[in-house]
A and B are shown apart, each in its own frame.
Chain A
Amino acid sequence: MKDVDILIGSLPEQVKLYSPFDDLLCEFVGSFSKAVLHDTKAKQMPDVISLGYWCRAANIQKMKEKCTDRQERLGRGVAFHVTPSNIPVNFAFSFFFSLLAGNANIVRVPSKVTPERECIIRILKDVLEPYKEIKKRTMFVSYPAKSDATEFFSRLSDVRIIWGGDETIEAIRLHPAKPRCVDITFADRYSLALINGKYVLEADEKEIQRLARAFYNDTFYMDQNACSSPQLILWQNTCKEAKNKFWDAVYSYTQKHYIFPAIEAVNKYCRVCENIIDSDSIDSIVTKGNVIIREKLKALLPDEMLLFRGRCGQFFEYDLEHISEINGIVNEKYQTLSYYGYNPKKIQKWIVREGLTGIDRIVPIGKTMEIGMVWDGYNLTESLSRIISAE
């Protein structure tokens, strides 16, 4: 395969498997963390730094302790990763999840060269050098979509980790894999936020600014285009003052931090027009410049929700009387519910009690981007390893 560019390592050899959080694996991940956190270039890239933080020995230790049956588990074998081009550090998270679960890895890195990608690859290469055992079970590659490499790697895979969209997943699934191969797919998802207006109203200046920054990180920081970025904003116990207080704070934060791409003014306006034509449940449009566009909904109609997808600061708002109103719209597409002014355990209980088909994560506003080994409804340590039962 001439069109495959090998960035690190070589095709994994047939080697013995590791248990999840094997000491060697943890040590390696910890070394990577240290290298990142001391790297002058990495320090300028917040995404890379948060990856470095996640890999800290103490953090890995915590996860290890949670995995109580790790000694009865082994990795599944060779994991093949197809990772997204638009979140530059994602491929590294995908790799570490699978490595820590005990697998050998072939990681297809997006061919779009970003400073983040280059930095991570460089540091990984260095850190891998003394870890010969891990190195021979690791390969990072980059290749064009039309290459037959996907076919080739699929046939070697015991696990495929496919990051979406839906079209990508469909395309990769056309390639046969081993009969026992498990596909972990991260499809297109839809996320929402639940805000308690009473708490917004009560928040002091410092708190409202913290909340605005937290919300910004969930949305604008990723152009509101991450699966976990909220599209739908649900309010309870609210009034106009609470909403204005919230959106004014978010707006003034964007004015200092968000670089608004000019074409998005047209794209957003165009989506607003489409929404108005396609739906009958839009009550009004409220804007703060073209940066924050709010479409207030009169009703939550299950068939319409997927029309309501914003980008770069376009939100759909609805005032909830009772949380039960979400039951009618939530389906398997729904991923993260971020909240402000709620007890997450209560929301969790509600979802389980009602048997909802969607919402896998409940996190405070500001934490939607914090990826971890429980993600998208999967416990990845378990999904990426095999259990050896004995009775």
Chain B
Amino acid sequence: MNIDYSYIFNLPPFSLDKDEKHKLYEEILYELQKHHSGNCFQYNKLCSLLGNNPALPVRLFKEYDLKSISKDEIYKVMTSSGTTGQTVSKIYLDRETSARQAKALNKIVSDFTGKTRLPMLIIDSNKVLKDRNMFSARGAGILGFSMLGRDMTYALDENMNLNLTVIDEFCQKYEGQAVLMFGFTFMVWEHFYKPLSKMGHRLDLAGTLIHGGGWKKLASEAVNPEEFINGLKMVTNADKVLNYYGMVEQTGSIFMECEYGHLHASVFSDIDILRAEDFTAADVGEKGIIKVTSLLPTSYPGHILLSEDEGILEGVDDCPCGRKGKYFKVCGRMQGAEIRGCSDTYERR
């Protein structure tokens, strides 16, 4: 494999314009294609019929053990936090891929929070991390982000209740300083915002709150991004509340939201919006299926993935925040269609 990762890591994370990025990706994707088809037989089979660098549907990682490394090179296996009864994705990581993911995450996030490691409040319970063998997406997310801060403090106890003693102590210790808060969108709302707002409590915490993991659960409560930001700014002193889009199948190369509410592709990853009828590229402003490309994975063939989310490309290279590359928004998980046909008479609900 002939990929100069140090070159990519030396680039400022949002510095490449359309043409520069295209050139870089052409080169590296060629290498990744060669590497994965030589080391993952399922991937090789797919390439032989679908052509080079096919997008893999994320569902395939639930159905097959897709990896481009030998068994003894496996460093850890990440799993999606599937709800009970669902099969989970299995993502095989070796040390290199895992380290690359951590490094990329750091590069991307520090573009928003600065290079210094800030005191960090994690809005979750540390019980999520207890089982180190099987890394759930939630655990991996927490662990990944925790590398970016110092003095990691968990805001919730084992029962997902506010641990006010710990939080107050943290607030006093870092009074007047910028801190980093991190959590999953739903957890932050349900177990942090809601109880605080009910108590009428405002925490003296300044700095940035970063959250991700999807709006699906919140949409059913009709919470929109704006309300979320306003809500969190009421219960804390955070000056920035930023969302990110990412998936366990491409950990590290996340898409961060800027102060203008746009999700940005960094040098480590790219996004394409495809039309459902023929998978051609949708125009700016046109809703379609999200395809994500990441330069990071070499231990599993997940560098190009077809998601089950819909999104809209909002522009390229010209976001007022100054970051280069594509920026977009996510519309959420695609709606399951009601298919006609004979089977399925026994209604389970």
Contact = CB atoms under 8 A, between A and B. Distances in A.
B63 A164 contact: no
Interface in A288-337: 289-291, 311-312
A85 B337 contact: no
Question: DSSP majority for the B interface?
Answer: loop
Contacts of A266: 57, 289, 306, 308, 334
B342 interface: yes
A364 B50 CA distance: 34
A276 B57 CA distance: 13
B310 interface: yes
Contacts of A83: 345
Nearest to B41: A277
Contacts of A172: 346
B337 A261 contact: yes
B284 interface: no
A261 B335 CA distance: 9
Interface stretch (A24-32, A58-66, A218-226, A232-240): A218-226
Interface string B22-49: 0000000000000000000010011001
Given A274-B63, A277-B64, A290-B276, A86 B340 contact: yes
B50 A86 contact: no
A171 B346 contact: yes
B60 A274 contact: yes
Interface residues of A, number: 53
A265 interface: yes
B131 interface: no
A222 B341 contact: yes
Contacts of A226: 340-342
Nearest to B341: A225
12 contacts: A87-B342, A110-B345, A145-B347, A165-B346, A188-B343, A223-B340, A226-B342, A227-B343, A265-B276, A266-B306, A276-B46, A285-B50
A269 B343 contact: no
Interface of B: 42, 45-46, 49-50, 54, 56-57, 59-60, 63-64, 276-279, 289, 306, 308, 310, 334-349
Given A262-B276, A262-B334, A274-B63, A164 B56 contact: no
Nearest to A264: B337
Contacts of B347: 85, 110-112, 144-145
A171 B45 CA distance: 39
A177 interface: no
Contacts of B310: 262
Contact of A186 (B57, B340, B342): B342
Nearest to A220: B340
Nearest to B287: A262
Nearest to A90: B342
B277 A290 contact: yes
A259 to B, nearest CB: 10
A87 B340 CA distance: 6
Interface string A162-190: 11111110011000000000000010110
Contacts of A163: 342, 345
A82 interface: yes
A223 B276 contact: no
A223 B46 CA distance: 26
B340 A222 contact: yes
Contact of A84 (B46, B308, B345, B349): B345
A289 B344 contact: no
Interface string A69-95: 000000000000011111100100000
Contacts of B60: 270, 273-274, 277
A167 B346 contact: yes
A265 B289 contact: yes
Contacts of B338: 86
Given A260-B276, A263-B337, A86 B343 contact: yes
A192 interface: no
B57 A85 contact: no
B308 A263 contact: yes
B46 A273 contact: yes
A223 B336 CA distance: 14
A141 to B, nearest CB: 13
Given A163-B345, A266-B308, 18 more contacts: A85-B347, A87-B340, A112-B347, A144-B347, A145-B348, A166-B343, A168-B344, A168-B345, A223-B341, A225-B339, A226-B340, A226-B342, A261-B339, A262-B310, A274-B63, A289-B278, A290-B277, A311-B339
